Amino acid sequence: MRIVASGAVLAGVAMLAVLGGSGSAVAQQPADLQVKAGCGYPMNHTVVVRNHGPGPAHDVTIRYWSAFGPVGERHEPVIESGRAAVYDLGPMRTLELAAVTATSSTPDAVPGNNQGIFPTLHLRIHPMPCFLW
């Protein structure tokens, strides 16, 4: 009888440990992803995804498109608060529109800046050949 009682007590403690572990989870802090695209001399076409925090952004997917140039998707496991993921996507034409979106499994505090269409102007003869943001 004692063995059964001890087994029941141990089972109850194990159940409390499982429930306590799942019930003690802290709410995930939101992140604020912001996307930009453009070019800067002497760089090529560039996409920047910045996390303004306060928490890290997990499972980030970045999709980008431009009329004449690169189209694709990138994945980042985590972008920490205050950090950015920057992608150099190659050369541009004279005038392009670049579209970028970023999604994450982390709730976003300001979802309105997770996507955008950005004009980029590249003039080879001008000392500042790119218009950027």
CATH number at residue 111: 2.60.40.10
| Of residues 105 and 133, more confidently modeled | 105
| Domain region containing 82 | 33-131
Length of the chain: 133
Output DSSP code: residue 126.
S
Q: Are strands 71-79 and 33-39 parallel, antiparallel or unpaired?
A: unpaired
pLDDT attached to residue 65: 86
**For residues 75 and 85, what is the distance between their CA atoms, to the nearest angstrom?**
10
When pLDDT is cut at 50, 70 and 90, the band that residue 12 belongs to is very low
pLDDT at 32 over 50: yes
**For residues 63 and 30, what is the distance between their CA atoms, to the nearest angstrom?**
21
What residue has token string 């982390």?
106
What's the pTM value of the predicted model, to 2 decimals? 0.69
Asked if the structure places residue 56 within a domain, the reply is: yes
Backbone CA torsion sign across 128, 115, 87, 65: negative
Provide the mean pLDDT of the chain.
Answer: 74
Residue 101's SS3 state is strand
Tally of structural domains, the chain: 1
Asked if the structure places residue 9 within a domain, the reply is: no
